Amino acid sequence: MRSFWQNAVRIFGPIGLTYISITVGAWLLFMILIPQLIMIDFSMRPLLPLRKIGGPEDIWTLRNYMVLFTNELHRAIFLKTIWSSIIVTSVALAICYPISFYLAKVTRGARLGWLMIGLIIPYWINELLRLFAWQLILADAGILNKLLMLLGFIAEPLNFRAGNSAVIVGMAYAYILFMVFPLYNAMESLDRNQLDAARDLGSSWLRIHWRIVVPHAKPGIAVGCIMTFMLAAGSIAAPQLLGSPSSFWFTEVIYTNFETANWNQGAAYATVLALLCLVFIFVMLRVFRVSLKELAQ
C-alpha cells in the first residue's frame, strides 16, 4: 500500500495526486456511494403518509423486498425479465461471434475499416430513433410484413409485436456493439498460425473454434455477455417502445412505482435488479472460469 502511494506521487506529483484523489473521491462518494445508500435506505422503509415519516412506524424492514415474493404478477415479470435478458444475450452472442471472428481473423486492411464504420454508423443515431425505426419495420403494416407478403411467404401480416420477440430483436440489435467489441478484442490477439496449425493437424472448423478460438476468447465472451445482459435487464426504452402491453419488463414495474410515488417499493426493486446483475457477473465468471483480473484486461 505504501509503495502504491509512493508510486502515485512519483507519477502524478503531489498536486496532481491531490487533484486526482479529490475528484475521484468526490465522484465515488457523491455519484455512486451516497445515491446507492439513499436508495437502499428508501427501499428498507415502509411507504408512509408525509406526517408519519420519522414517526414510530418509520422503521427499517424488508417488507418491500417481500412484495416480490407475494405479488405473483411482479414475480412473473421479474423472472420473465431474467429469462428474456438471457435470450437477448444468447441471440447477441450468436450474431456477434461470427461477425467478430470475421473482423478479427478473416478480413483485414481497408475492408476491416469499412466494416467497422458500418457497425458504428447506426450508433450515431439516438437509441430512441433506432427503436422507432424497429417499430416501423416490425409494425403490422410495416416493411418486414410487406416484404414477406410480397415474396409470398405469408398471406396475413404477422403480429411481431405480440409477446417478447420484438423487444428481443430490438435489444439484440441495440447491444450488438457491446458484444462485438469485447469479442473482437479478445479474438484479435489470437495468433493466426494457431488456427492454421490446428487445421493442418486435421481439425475441422467447428473443433478449431471449440478448442482454440473460444478458450482464447473466453474473457471477451464473458465481458460481452455481462454487458449485454445488464443493458438488457436494465433497459426501459426498448420494452416501452417495442413491447406489447403484455410484455412488461421489470424496469417498467420499477418506473411505475416511482411514478405512482411509491419510491420505497421502486427502490427495493431497483436494488433487486442491481443484485441480479451482480449475481449474473459472478455466474459468468464461474461459467467461463475467468478471474476478475483477466476481465479487467
Applying CB under 8 A, the residues found at the interface with other proteins are 191, 193-194, 196-204, 207, 211-212, 215-216
Least Cβ distance, residue 202 to other proteins (angstroms): 5
Least Cβ distance, residue 205 to other proteins (angstroms): 9
* Of residues 146 and 289, the one with the C-beta less far from other proteins: 289
Least Cβ distance, residue 194 to other proteins (angstroms): 5
* Of residues 63 and 218, the one with the C-beta less far from other proteins: 218
Least Cβ distance, residue 109 to other proteins (angstroms): 10
Pick the closest to residue 91 from 79, 80, 83 (CA basis): 83
* Of residues 87 and 214, the one with the C-beta less far from other proteins: 214
* Of residues 146 and 211, the one with the C-beta less far from other proteins: 211
Least Cβ distance, residue 97 to other proteins (angstroms): 18
* Of residues 167 and 198, the one with the C-beta less far from other proteins: 198
Least Cβ distance, residue 198 to other proteins (angstroms): 7
* Of residues 194 and 260, the one with the C-beta less far from other proteins: 194
Least Cβ distance, residue 133 to other proteins (angstroms): 37
Backbone angles phi, psi at 203, to 5 degrees: -75, 145
* Of residues 210 and 282, the one with the C-beta less far from other proteins: 210
CB 157 within 8 A of CB 141: yes
Rounded Cα–Cα distance for residues 135 and 149 (Å): 18
Rounded Cα–Cα distance for residues 232 and 212 (Å): 29
